[in-house]
Amino acid sequence: MASAKEVRTKIASIKNTQKITKAMEMVAASKMRKVQERMKAARPYAAKMRNVIAHMGNASPEYKHSYLGERDEVKRIGIIIVSSDRGLCGGLNSNLFRETISHMKQWKDKDIDIDMCLIGTKAVSFFTRVGGSIVGQATHIGDKPAIDELIGTVKIMLDSFNEEKIDQLYLISNKFINSMTQEPTAEQLLPVQASDEEELKHHWDYIYEPDAKEVVDHLLTRFIESLVYQGVIENIACEQAARMIAMKSASDNAGTLIDDLQLVYNKARQAAITQELSEIVSGAAAV
Amino acid sequence: MTMTIHVDIVSAETELYSGVAEMVFVPGKMGELGIAPRHTPLVTTLKPGLVRLELPENKEESFFVSGGILEIQPHVVTILSDSAARTEDMDEAAVLKAKEEAEHAFENRGDDIDFEHVQQQMVEARAKYEALQKLRGR
């Protein structure tokens, strides 16, 4: 049986761990509230942008942008993978990577090559180990990502789409459903998918100022950027939520562990006292 | 009853306005646009400047946008601004200071800076100040 002192040090060290996990839980909880607000605030922009793009997909413009039409043959695709920068957030990243790998397998079966853009250190370290062609990465984006930090990675993908190196572009990130559930999802960014609103089916077009090409180019680039930005913001919210839950269960587990050890400690202490007593008694008897 | 048109103003950070208006004025790339209900579909980019809404019952609201995209559907106007603010929330002194700083930075620029960026900032700050002046002057 372990001595009382050993158990005591063990309890003390678990208590320290518990303090850390509790602190992390609280930090994650307060950060989550903030990033959740930021995420909600950014949603209308992306939603409105999506509407406009959907309308545009249904219009019959004189200038057809390459982002709007499906390509006949898909040989190579690009994926942007959004992960967190830090660990200790439960299964958030591993779930995302599992989902990614299964998608990649499906594409591989169809003989489609894959280019990857990685956002977040976790994705970088995972996919360098797994292997594959990585064309761009962005790490250490923090809690308040500036849109221009992300534009670089997006631009790489857009350029290779323009040069017809890739024929489709996907975004794989965690969707925030609620603070308990986050779901890894793959969303097709390019070509942009048109909406199916019936009333818009007749022939019509916008007036473009200054001219169609400039406006449409500007709009579509903004659109893709805003989708990626939204994905990153949402992933940050997911990260904080997942960390909060993971740290909460870690603190709870530490609590049960301490309770168990406390029992062991009490037993050991009693055993030691009993032993000492019996030693004294037998010692007195021997005199 | 007069005809109205639905207006949505959103910026990358937040939704600023969603409601009806009788007339909308926006700073389009090619010049100021006045949009009445049943306007023909139009898309354009925006310059930094003032977006003015004429609301029913003779009310008015105005916003500053730093550029962005405007989409017009016959019954919906959508303004996707890069960043925007309600003019009522804008602080004149702060705007003036920002304008002066931007102009200062532009005049004393070295060779190593991003010319376009500084110029863009100055143009934006100036437009913001002028928009505010115009509004206060009336």
CATH 2.60.15.10 domain locations along chain B: 5-87
Q: Which long-range contacts (CB under 8 A, 24 or more apart) does A216-221 make?
A: A216/A56, A216/A61, A216/A63, A216/A65, A216/B43, A217/A65, A218/B45, A218/B69, A219/A52, A219/A53, A219/A56, A219/B43, A219/B69, A220/A53, A220/A65, A220/A67, A220/A68, A220/A192, A221/A158
Q: What's the CATH superfamily of B5-87? A: F0F1 ATP synthase delta/epsilon subunit, N-terminal (2.60.15.10)
Chain B: closest CA distance from residue A41 (Å): 5
CATH 1.20.5 domain locations along chain B: 90-135
Distance separating alpha carbons of residues B52 and A264, to the nearest angstrom = 74
Angle, CA A192 vertex, CA B8 and CA B70 arms, to 5°: 25
Separation in Å, CA A77 to CA A74, A113, A115, A191, A225: 7, 6, 6, 11, 18
- pLDDT value, residue A200: 52
Of A205, A240, A217, the closest CA to residue A88 belongs to: A240
* Residue B1: pLDDT band with limits 50, 70, 90: low
For residue range A195-214, list pLDDT tens digits in order: 555 555 566 778 887 788 88
For residue range B79-89, list pLDDT tens digits in order: 998 777 777 77
- pLDDT value, residue A259: 96
Q: Which helix (H) or strand (E) holds A236?
A: helix A212-286
Contact B46, B79 (CB under 8 A): yes
At the topology level, CATH places domain B90-135 in 1.20.5
The residue type at A266: N
Highest mean pLDDT, choosing among A12-21, B14-23, B28-37, B47-56: A12-21
Which positions of chain A have pLDDT values less than 70?
A: 1-2, 60-62, 194-203
CB-nearest to A51 from B12, B45, B78 is: B78
CB-nearest to A52 from B30, B45, B78 is: B78
Mutation for B interface: A151, A209, A230, A232, most B CBs within 10 A:
A209
Work out the burial of residue A4: count CB atoms within 10 Å of its CB; fewer than 13 is exposed, 13-18 middle, 19 or more buried. middle
Work out the burial of residue B6: count CB atoms within 10 Å of its CB; fewer than 13 is exposed, 13-18 middle, 19 or more buried. middle
The residue type at B65: V
Q: What are phi and psi of A3, to 5 degrees?
A: -75, 160
Cβ contact B43–A215 (<8 Å): yes
Helix, coil or strand: residue A137: strand
Helix, coil or strand: residue A264: helix
Separation in Å, CA A287 to CA A41, A241, A252, A273, A282: 85, 69, 53, 21, 9
Of A150, A87, A144, A160, the closest CA to residue A118 belongs to: A150
CB-nearest to A49 from B30, B45, B80 is: B80
For residue range A13-70, list pLDDT tens digits in order: 999 999 999 999 999 999 999 998 888 888 888 888 888 887 777 776 667 777 777 7
Give me the total of CB pairs closer than 8 Å, taking one residue from chain A and one from chain B.
72
